[in-house]
Amino acid sequence: MKKSLAAITLAGILTLSAGATAAQAAPYPAPPSSTVSSGTVAPGNGVVFSGSGFTPGETINIDVQFGGPVAAGAIGGHGGASMSVPMIIKPSVVVATAVADSGGNFSTTVMLTEHGTYTITATGATSGVTATQVVRVVAASTDGNAAGSGTTGNGSNNNDLASTGIDPSVLVWSLIGVGALAAGAGTVVISRRRSRQNAEA
């Protein structure tokens, strides 16, 4: 009797632990992110555009969308209370490709020639993962350097969101294990009652 109870308990424990181990074995991918070496540059300069969270070895298309000149009073503009130059948004153009390394990272230089605001987007060809940065191209300051610093941003994944809850298979196997334990305990209780009744009779 004690051996069967111990066997049932052991089976339940193994069932519960096997499901938990399977859920922990699958690593979650890192969320996509990107950076640029400088958020503001002078015309004719380039920025280093880097990103992570892509599928290792996939081709990454680097698109640049030109938003027209930086107007006075516009977001990112220099001084002024009104927009004196209209913003012209042109379609994005693939300017480069990169290949993600074994860690899902890439880095490439993007040259920016005209005054204005540029949106640089990296798109994974197989994963659909995207990461975007905005860079302003402005006239150089009096010391010859454009003001600005590197920026960091988050990308987005066009695929499903990562699962942060319990794996459904763990729940199923847990319920099966609990059911097996309940059945075993019920069997033990019934057999004890029968043996007591037989002893009393």
Number of domains in the chain: 2
- Clarify whether residues 68 and 50 are in a common domain: yes
- Clarify whether residues 40 and 137 are in a common domain: yes
Residues pairing with 52 in the sheet: 33
pLDDT in tens, 121-156: 999 999 899 999 999 988 765 554 444 444 445 554
Neighbours of 129 (CB within 10 A): 26
- Clarify whether residues 90 and 183 are in a common domain: no
Q: Tell me which of 6-10, 15-19, 117-121, 156-160 is least confident.
A: 156-160
Q: Quick one: pLDDT band at residue 112, thresholds 50, 70, 90?
A: confident
Locate 136 and state its tokens: 């302003």
pTM of the model as a whole: 0.51
The Cα 118–Cα 54 span in angstroms is: 22
- In the chain, DSSP assigns E strands to 33-36, 40-41, 46-52, 59-66, 93-99, 106-111, 116-124, 129-137, 151-154, 156-157
